C-alpha cells in the first residue's frame, strides 16, 4: 500500500527530519496521535525478553501518568508470535479463557483503554513496535491502513537511529582512548575550520582554529607537523578518501588512571606494590622519590625496582616507561 501525499508531508518527513534530535520521534508521534484520534502512542525497539534500547511514548487527554508496561500487558502485547507488519485490533488480542478475559478487562479499564492497534514492524528479534491506544474513540480500517503504510518508513528510520547509536558509541570509545593517551583531536575541513572535535580539544581551544592557521586546500598525503599562531605544535594526518585532515594536540600531562596499578599487576605479573612503583616511575618520578611516595625505605625501593626490571625485561627506567605507556594500563 503506497504512501499518499498527506502521509508524506505530515508523517514521513518529520520521521526522518528529527533523527539527530534527542527525542527524534516526537513530532511524528504527535501528528500520528492527532491523525488517528488516539490518546496514547507507543513506539519502541526491543524484544519481550529485554528492555527497549529506545522508547518513545506520547499521550494526550491527561493520560500521561499511565505505566508503559501496564498498558502493554493490558492489551496482551507485545507478543513475539504476532505476525510482522500486520496490524492487530484489540479484539484480536483478547484472552480466550473466561478468567483471563475478566482479568484483562479489569486491566484495560484501569489503564483507560477502550481500543488499541498494535503492529510489529519487521521480523528481526528487536524489531520496532507501534501501538495506538484510545480511551473512548474506536479505531477504524483507515487507522490500520495508515499504520501499514508507515511501517516501511518506520523500519528504515529505526535502522538509521540504531546505526547512529552505534556510531556514537564507537566515537565515545575512541575519544576516551585518545584522551587516556594524552591527546586531543579534531577533524579540519578544506579551509582549516574545525568540523568536529573531541572534548579535550574543545577544552584546550574552545573557539577552534583561527582562519588561515591551517589549510587543507592542498591535501596532505603523509603526517606532518604544524604550529598554530600561538606556537602550539600540532600533528596533521590525512583522512583517506576525504578532503579533510585529523589534527592532534598534546594535552597537559595527567597521572595514569586509578586502575593502572591493578592493570599493570595483571599484565606484567607484578605485585601490587611493584605495580604502584612502576606507575610512579612511568609518570616521571625519580626512583627514590617514587618509593618514598609509597612509604617504602630506599633499600626496599631498590629491591622492588630490580624485581620490576626482571619481570618486565626493561633495560632501565626509560624502557620501563615505554613498556608501561604502550601497555593497556593507560586505558584502565
| Residue at 209 is within a domain | yes
Q: Output the pLDDT for position 5.
A: 67
**Least confident interval from 43-47, 64-68, 196-200, 268-272:** 64-68
Same domain? For 128 and 205 the reply is: no
Same domain? For 107 and 196 the reply is: no
State yes or no: pLDDT of 274 exceeds 90. yes
Average pLDDT over residues 103-131: 89
**Are the C-beta atoms of residues 184 and 251 closer than 8 Å to each other?**
yes
Average pLDDT over residues 165-171: 90
Q: What's the mean pLDDT when you consider all of the chain? A: 85
Q: What is the CATH number of the domain that holds 113?
A: 3.30.450.80
Same domain? For 238 and 282 the reply is: no
Same domain? For 199 and 267 the reply is: no
Closest CA to 223 of 199, 240, 198, 209: 240
Domain boundary among the residues 250, 277, 303 is at: 250
State yes or no: pLDDT of 104 exceeds 80. yes
Closest CA to 237 of 253, 214, 254: 214
Q: Output the pLDDT for position 67.
A: 74
Highest mean pLDDT among 7-21, 93-107, 168-182 belongs to 168-182
Same domain? For 16 and 132 the reply is: yes
Burial of 87 (0-12, 13-18, 19+ CB in 10 A): buried
Same domain? For 217 and 68 the reply is: no
Q: How far apart are CA 103 and CA 108, in angstroms?
A: 9
Same domain? For 17 and 103 the reply is: yes
Q: How confident is the model at residue 244 (pLDDT cuts 50, 70, 90)?
A: confident
Q: Output the pLDDT for position 144.
A: 95
Same domain? For 238 and 186 the reply is: yes
Same domain? For 266 and 245 the reply is: no
Q: Which domain holds residue 157?
A: 5-167
Q: Output the pLDDT for position 56.
A: 83
Instruction: Give helix 260-268 / helix 272-282 axis angle, nearest 10°.
Output: 110
Q: How far apart are CA 158 and CA 64, in angstroms?
A: 24
**Are the C-beta atoms of residues 121 and 128 closer than 8 Å to each other?**
yes
Same domain? For 244 and 103 the reply is: no
Report CA 332 to chain centroid distance, whole Å.
20
Dihedral (CA of 26, 27, 33, 34) sign: positive
| 54-81 per-residue burial string, b: 16 or more CB within 10 A, e: under 16 | eebbbbeeeeeebeeeebbebbbbbeee
Same domain? For 143 and 209 the reply is: no
Q: Output the pLDDT for position 279.
A: 93
Condensed to tens digits (0 to 9), the pLDDT of residues 60-93 reads 765 555 677 788 888 877 788 889 999 999 988 8
Q: Output the pLDDT for position 59.
A: 82
| Residue at 255 is within a domain | no
Can you name the residues that pair with 131 across neighbouring β-strands? 42, 118
Q: Strands (DSSP E) along the chain, which ranges?
A: 40-45, 54-59, 88-89, 115-120, 128-134, 183-188, 194-197, 224-227, 233-238, 245-250
Q: What is the CATH number of the domain that holds 200?
A: 3.30.450
Domain tally for the chain? 3
Q: Which residues contact 126 (CB under 8 A, 6 or more apart)?
A: 45, 46, 47, 50, 53
Q: Output the pLDDT for position 48.
A: 55
Domain boundary among the residues 115, 142, 167 is at: 167
Dihedral (CA of 238, 244, 250, 251) sign: negative
| Residue at 125 is within a domain | yes
State yes or no: pLDDT of 136 exceeds 80. yes
Q: What percent of the chain has pLDDT over 90?
A: 37
Q: How far apart are CA 45 and CA 120, in angstroms?
A: 10
| Residue at 85 is within a domain | yes
Same domain? For 133 and 240 the reply is: no
Average pLDDT over residues 84-108: 86
Domain boundary among the residues 121, 138, 167 is at: 167
The pTM of the full predicted model, rounded to 2 decimals, is 0.73
| Residue at 281 is within a domain | yes
Q: How confident is the model at residue 143 (pLDDT cuts 50, 70, 90)?
A: very high
| Residue at 187 is within a domain | yes
| Residue at 150 is within a domain | yes
Q: Which residue has the higher pLDDT, 264 or 203?
A: 264
Measured CA distances, 282 to 27, 177, 315 (Å): 54, 18, 14
Condensed to tens digits (0 to 9), the pLDDT of residues 277-325 reads 999 999 889 999 999 999 999 999 999 999 999 999 999 888 999 999 8
Report CA 127 to chain centroid distance, whole Å.
19
Amino acid at each position: 500500500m503506497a504512501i499518499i501525499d498527506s502521509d508524506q508531508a505530515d508523517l514521513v518527513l518529520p520521521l526522518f527530519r528529527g533523527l539527530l534530535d534527542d527525542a527524534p520521534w516526537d513530532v511524528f508521534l504527535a501528528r500520528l496521535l492527532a491523525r488517528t484520534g488516539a490518546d496514547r502512542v507507543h513506539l519502541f525497539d526491543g524484544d519481550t525478553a529485554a528492555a527497549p534500547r529506545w522508547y518513545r511514548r506520547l499521550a494526550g487527554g491527561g493520560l500521561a501518568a499511565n505505566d508503559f508496561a501496564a498498558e502493554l500487558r493490558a492489551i496482551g502485547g507485545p507478543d513475539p508470535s504476532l505476525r510482522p507488519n500486520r496490524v492487530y485490533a484489540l479484539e484480536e488480542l483478547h484472552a480466550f479463557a473466561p478468567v483471563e478475559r475478566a482479568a484483562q478487562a479489569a486491566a484495560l479499564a484501569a489503564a483507560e483503554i477502550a481500543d488499541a492497534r498494535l503492529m510489529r514492524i519487521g521480523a528481526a528479534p528487536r524489531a520496532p513496535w507501534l501501538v495506538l491506544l484510545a480511551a473512548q474513540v474506536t479505531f477504524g480500517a483507515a487507522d490500520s491502513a495508515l499504520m501499514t503504510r508507515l511501517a516501511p518508513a518506520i523500519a528504515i528510520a529505526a535502522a538509521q537511529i540504531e546505526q547512529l547509536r552505534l556510531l556514537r558509541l564507537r566515537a565515545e570509545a575512541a575519544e576516551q582512548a585518545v584522551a587516556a593517551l594524552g591527546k586531543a583531536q579534531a577533524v579540519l575541513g578544506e579551509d582549516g575550520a574545525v568540523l568536529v572535535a573531541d572534548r579535550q580539544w574543545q577544552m584546550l581551544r574552545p573557539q577552534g582554529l583561527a582562519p588561515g592557521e591551517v589549510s587543507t586546500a592542498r591535501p596532505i598525503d603523509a603526517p606532518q607537523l604544524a604550529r598554530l599562531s600561538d606556537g602550539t605544535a600540532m600533528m596533521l594526518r590525512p583522512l583517506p578518501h576525504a578532503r579533510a585532515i585529523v589534527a592532534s594536540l598534546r594535552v597537559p600531562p595527567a597521572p595514569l588512571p586509578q586502575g593502572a596499578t591493578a592493570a599493570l599487576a595483571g599484565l606484567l605479573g607484578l605485585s601490587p606494590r611493584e605495580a604502584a612503583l612502576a606507575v610512579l616511575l612511568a609518570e616521571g618520578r625519580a626512583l627514590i622519590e617514587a618509593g618514598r611516595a609509597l612509604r617504602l625505605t630506599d633499600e626496599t625501593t631498590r629491591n622492588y625496582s630490580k624485581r620490576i626490571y626482571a619481570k618486565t625485561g626493561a633495560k632501565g627506567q626509560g624502557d620501563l616507561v615505554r613498556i608501561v605507556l604502550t601497555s593497556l594500563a593507560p586505558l584502565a
